[in-house]
Amino acid sequence: MPRAVAINVAANTNQPGVRGPIFPDGRFEYLPIPESEPTNRSVPTYADLDPSVELPDGAETLPVHLDPEFAEYPCCERYTYGDPFGVKARPLLELDRGDYVFFYATLSTVGEPARDWISPRWGAYIIGQFRLARDPIAGSEFAGLDSEEQRAFENNAHLKREEFDAEVLVEGAPDESGLYETAVPLSSPEKGSKANRLVTELSSDSGKGPWWRRPMKFDGDGIREISEFGE
């Protein structure tokens, strides 16, 4: 039975000061956070991504930390993700090949929702997934991989930093990974800060406090409901 961990990613009201949008029909736009560390290779800017959302003044020229990397997204090549923080790395390192990583983001509601599950103003939504192509790699083990294994991550944002800082790296299988067309809600339709049953009943999280910032685990029932949403 596969397992899953859901990780909070993408732009928010702190970085760069705006969230990605969710549109009335449930489609959305993935907007990464700014790059906060020096890099030793060229990285894309917000202008390169050409987002539809209005950015804060001067943000267009900011380099972005394009992580997770989705092959179908601008400036991306594969399905990779890295994280330098133990609170996210630890649950990811417990996964195995064939397990799932779900990526969720807080999104701002645009227009009058046509879907009754869209939260007013903002909410938390799963925006994409990886089905792991290999076991997660601890950052301390990366230097010991052979060159071909390392090459799979060469476009990941953490490999472009002057100082490699990932505590974990994961790679998604191309045929079972990607950005969703329609977001999967984690917030209730009444309020973005109120968790729905996917969180409170089917995840490891209580749904109390700032749950939309925390990693959460899912087992078979939660994975199934997420996968079947909107079918």
- pTM over cut 0.95: yes
Task: Express each pLDDT in 217-228 by its tens digit.
Answer: 999 999 999 999
Q: What is the DSSP letter of 3?
A: -
Residue 15 pLDDT: 94
* d(C-alpha 190, C-alpha 93), whole Å: 35
User: Beta strand pairing status for 100-109 and 20-22?
Assistant: parallel
**Sign for the pseudo-dihedral over CA of 19, 218, 3, 214:** positive
Task: Express each pLDDT in 136-183 by its tens digit.
Answer: 999 999 999 999 999 999 999 999 999 999 999 999 999 999 999 999
Contact residues for 54 (Cβ-Cβ < 8 A; gap 6+) = 18
74 with 166: CB under 8 angstroms? no
Task: Express each pLDDT in 22-73 by its tens digit.
Answer: 999 999 999 999 999 999 999 999 999 999 999 999 999 999 999 999 999 9
108 with 17: CB under 8 angstroms? no
Residue with tokens 């890295």: 82
Residue 230 pLDDT: 66
Domain ranges (residues) in the chain: 4-228
pLDDT band at 231 (very low <50, low <70, confident <90, very high): low
pLDDT at 190 over 90: yes
Residue 7 pLDDT: 98
